[in-house]
């Protein structure tokens, strides 16, 4: 698969506000936040979409949720609540083809996300 901007962030080729890193994953604030708290947790391994998760990736993908909850606890919004989202492909609204968990927090979040008549290019 071709390299995305997230590989460049992992490799420090472009700047990002990195808030967590370990052997398997890295987390950084979203450049275009959709909530008072909005960061992304991504595997260091470049997996394009949820559809590309292999048997061998199960541990790392589970680890993304572990990291999200760990940061939520450390930042103090775990009890108040938050949302994790992973978008997949065009209808899911995915724009960067390196899987990432969105973590959104800091205010009550709307649900459901479906909007009648939404046009996707």
Cβ(1)–Cβ(46) below 8 Å:
yes
Considering the rule CB under 6 A, would residue 1 count as an interface residue with ligand 5GP?
no
β-strand pairing of 18-21 with 25-29: antiparallel
Q: Is 65 a catalytic residue?
A: no
Tell me the window of 60-68, 76-84, 86-94, 106-114 that interacts with ligand 5GP (CB under 6 A): 86-94
Choice among 38, 63, 98, 100 that is catalytic: 100
Burial of 39 (0-12, 13-18, 19+ CB in 10 A): buried
Active site residues: 100
What residues line the site for ligand 5GP (CB under 6 A)?
A: 5, 16, 28-32, 40, 87, 93-96
């Amino acid at each position: 698969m071709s390299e995305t901007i997230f590989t460049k962030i992992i490799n420090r080729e472009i700047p990002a506000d990195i808030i967590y890193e370990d052997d398997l994953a890295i987390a950084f604030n979203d450049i275009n936040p959709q909530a008072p708290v909005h960061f992304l947790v991504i595997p260091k391994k470049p997996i394009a979409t949820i559809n590309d998760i292999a048997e061998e990736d199960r541990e790392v993908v589970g680890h993304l949720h572990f990291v999200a909850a760990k940061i939520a606890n450390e930042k103090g919004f775990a009890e108040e609540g938050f949302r994790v989202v992973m978008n997949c492909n065009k209808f899911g609204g995915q724009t960067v083809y390196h899987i990432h968990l969105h973590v959104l927090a800091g205010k009550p979040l709307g649900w459901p996300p479906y909007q009648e008549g939404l046009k996707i290019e």
